[in-house]
Structure 1
Amino acid sequence: MSKAKGERESSTTKMGTLLHTYNHMPCTTFNRVFAIIYTCAILTLIYHHFLTLIHHSTTLISVITTTSLLISDLILAFMWATTTSFRLRPILRQVYPENLEKVLDKNDFPAIDIFICTADPYKEPPINVVNTALSLMAYDYPPEKISVYVSDDGGSELTLFAFMEAAKFAEIWLPFCRDNNIMDRCPEAYFNSNNHGKLDELEIEEIKVTTSK
C-alpha cells in the first residue's frame, strides 16, 4: 500500500517537474531576518502601549489617546503580517506549457472560458480588443475546449462591426498560427515584428486585404 502510494507521489512529482520548476529568490533570507526584527519591534511597541495605558494614563484624554494608538498599531501589525507571509518564501517559477501533452492527452484538457470586457470604443479602441480576442482564440489549445466571450458594456456598433470583420480575418489567421506554430499570436504584434518570415508575400497581402475590407 505504502509502496503504491510512494510510486504515485513520485509520478506526480515527475509530472510537475515537466510542467514547471522553481528556485528560491536570493532575498528570502533577508526577508525572514527582517520579519523577525520587525515582529520584535511591533511586540515591543504594543507592550509599551500597554504599560502606558496601565501606569501612565491618568486622564480620560490620555486613556483615549493611548487606546487609539494601541488599536491603530494592532491593525497595522495585522495588515503587515498578512502581507509578509507572501514574502517569507518568494520563488521564481518557470513554466513549460509545451510539455503539457506529455502529461495529459488533449482529450483530457479542461474546458476554458475566457471573458473580454470592453465599454468605450474611444478609450478602448476596437482594434485592441479584436487583437486580444484573436490572440486568445489562436492559443495552442484544442479549439473545441476554449470559448472566448466579449462583453461590450457600451453596446457600441463600432465594436460590433470590428468583430464582424475580425471573424472573417480569423478564418485565415487561426489556421495559420496553428499550422506554423506562431508564438506572437496577436496580429498587431506579429506584423510589427520581424517574425513573419514564414509568410510569403502573397499570404501577407491576402491577410492585409482581408483585414482592410
Structure 2
Amino acid sequence: MGTLLNTYQQMPCTTFNRMFAIIYSFAILALIYHHFLTLIYHSTAFISVVTATSLLISDLILAFMWATTTSFRLRPILRQVYPENLEKVLHKQDFPAIDIFICTADPYKEPPINVVNTALSLMAYDYPPEKISVYVSDDGGSELTLFAFMEAAKFAEFWLPFCRDSNIMDRRPEAYFNSNNHGKLDEHEIEEIKVSSKLF
C-alpha cells in the first residue's frame, strides 16, 4: 500500500439524496407534461397561450438549474487529507506554484485585522516560499486597509520565519497571542513580536 495523501467516504445522506432526486425528476416531468397538455389542448385565447408558454419556459429553466446543482448531492463525500505525507511522494522543489487571492471591500464590515490575519496565515504555510503568491484585492480602495497591510508587511518579517522555524500549526497571529503556547521564543522575542503585531 502506497503513501496516502487523502481518503474519503460517502456520507450517510447519499441514499436519501438519490431517492429524492428520482422522485423530484418524475415530478418535474409530470409538471412539464401538464404544461404541454395545457398549451396544446386548453389554451385558446392569446393570453392563455402566453401564460402557458411562460409557465413552461420558467419551469424548464428551474428544472435545468436543479439538474445542474443536484449532481453534487448524488455522491457527497467526507474527505480527509494528509499533507504531512506530501514530501514522501514529491520533493519540495517539485511542488506546484500556488496563487491565492484574498478579496475585501468594506473595512467596516471586514475589519482589516481579520484580512491581515488571513494573509499572514497563508504566507506562513509550510510550503516553499518561492512557490506561493498571496494577492489582496481591495475593491473598496480603503486607505485603512492599505495602512494595515503596510504594517503587516513589517510584522511579517518576524512572524513568517518564526512560524516556519517553530512549526506553528494555527498561523493566525491573533490565535497565537491569545493562547499560552508561545513555542521556542524567549520573553524578549515574544514581546518584540507582540509590539510589532499591535502596529496594525
Indicate whether 1:141 and 2:141 are aligned: no
Indicate whether 1:37 and 2:23 are aligned: yes
Indicate whether 1:84 and 2:52 are aligned: no
Indicate whether 1:163 and 2:149 are aligned: yes
3-state SS of the aligned residue for 2:168? Answer: coil
Indicate whether 1:126 and 2:119 are aligned: no
Rg larger in structure:
1
Q: How many angstroms does 1:107 deviate by? A: 0.7
Residues 6-56 of structure 1: CA distance to partner in whole angstroms, max 9, x if unpaired?
xxxxx9xx45xx111111111111111111111111111111222222222
Q: Which runs of structure 2 are paired with 1:18-97 in the superposition (5 Å)?
A: 18-97=4-83
Distance 1:122 1:30, change over 3 A: closer
- Cα distance between partner residues in 1 of 2:152 and 2:173: 11
Distance 1:62 1:153, change over 3 A: closer
When normalised by structure 1's length, the TM-score is 0.81
3-state SS of the aligned residue for 1:93? Answer: strand
Residues 114-137 of structure 1: CA distance to partner in whole angstroms, max 9, x if unpaired?
233445544443333322222111
3-state SS of the aligned residue for 1:204? Answer: helix
One-letter amino acid of the structure 2 residue matched with residue 90 of structure 1: P
Residues 61-95 of structure 1: CA distance to partner in whole angstroms, max 9, x if unpaired?
22222222211111111111111111111111111
Q: How many angstroms does 1:193 deviate by? A: 2.6
Residues 162-211 of structure 1: CA distance to partner in whole angstroms, max 9, x if unpaired?
33433332222112111221011010111113433544433322212333
Give the structure 2 partner of residue 176 of structure 1: 162
When normalised by structure 2's length, the TM-score is 0.86
Distance 1:69 1:165, change over 3 A: closer
Q: Is residue 166–residue 183 contact of structure 2 (8 Å, CA) maintained in 1? A: no
Name the % identity: 87
What do you get for the CA RMSD once the two structures are aligned? 2.4
One-letter amino acid of the structure 1 residue matched with residue 134 of structure 2: V
One-letter amino acid of the structure 1 residue matched with residue 44 of structure 2: T
How many pairs align? 199
